[in-house]
Amino acid sequence: MKKSAADRILMFLKMRGEATSLLIAEELTVTKEGARKHLLNLAQEGLIQSTVKSEGVGRPSTYYILTEKGLGRFPDTHADVTVQLLKSVKNLLGENALDLLISDREKNTHNRYEKALAKSKSLEQRLEILVKVRSDEGYMAEWKKEGHDYFLIENHCPICAAATECQGFCRAELSNFQSLIGKNYTVERVDHIISGGQRCVYKISN
């Protein structure tokens, strides 16, 4: 089924974090005025909001980002049930049991990713595979290179509610990425959805 212009704009903003009306018009292959009409409708629905940024010489640019309501269009996987289960584990069995649960998940995830990466020979190959695996799991992942550094970007967190309840999940994921990317590289989380970011971004440098 073909997505509506509104859905395409929401998806584009989810993937990009922010965009001008010109970029959105180019993405939709419509006129700038046509894009503005869609943006106005989405703003009236409370799904997006605008922010003005100065970019040096010339007039400031208007960027559009998703609101909390807009982000809600990309739901957390089984959020309520997951949070309730985590709270039950903590209340009935204690923090240690919760740590063991997260450690077990971290180990299983690491083994599964390591198997997928077994034949990769370069960092870029590893990133390609990680992006595919993570996207299949709902993280809407991508990677890019800027100068000598690489960035693994996750535009959505399908376990956001669970990670908010227990940030051990986030620590485990960072630990896994560091191990899987390899000891020759440093992996640092430079943006974090749980901390108010639009997406999770991992900087990979050596």
pLDDT at residue 117, as a whole number:
95
Q: Specify the amino acid at residue 171.
A: R
With 60 as the cut, is the pLDDT of residue 1 above it?
Answer: no
Measured distance between the N- and C-terminal CA atoms of the chain, rounded to whole angstroms = 44
pLDDT at residue 150, as a whole number:
97
Q: What is the average per-residue pLDDT within 152-159?
A: 89
Q: Of all helices (H) and strands (E), which one includes residue 41?
A: helix 32-44
CATH no. of 5-71: 1.10.10.10
Give the predicted TM-score (pTM) of the model. 0.69
Q: Compute CA distances 128 → 116, 152, 192, whole Å.
A: 11, 10, 21
What confidence category does residue 76 fall into, taking pLDDT thresholds of 50, 70 and 90?
low
Q: What percent of the chain has pLDDT over 70?
A: 94
pLDDT at residue 163, as a whole number:
75
What crossing angle do the helices spanning 5-16 and 32-44 adopt, rounded to 10°?
A: 90
Q: Could you tell me which residues are beta bridge partners of residue 66? A: 48
pLDDT in tens, 6-42: 888 998 888 888 889 999 999 888 888 889 999 999 9
CATH architecture of 79-205: 2-Layer Sandwich (3.30)
What confidence category does residue 2 fall into, taking pLDDT thresholds of 50, 70 and 90?
low
Domain range annotation of the chain? 5-71, 79-205
Q: Which residue has the higher pLDDT, 45 or 76?
A: 45
> What 3 state SS string does 126-189 have?
HHHHHHHHHHHCCCCEEEEEECCEEEEEECCCCCHHHHHHCCHHHHHHHHHHHHHHCCCCEEEE
- Nearest CA-CA partner of 159 in 150, 168, 151: 168
Q: Do domains 5-71 and 79-205 have the same CATH topology?
A: no
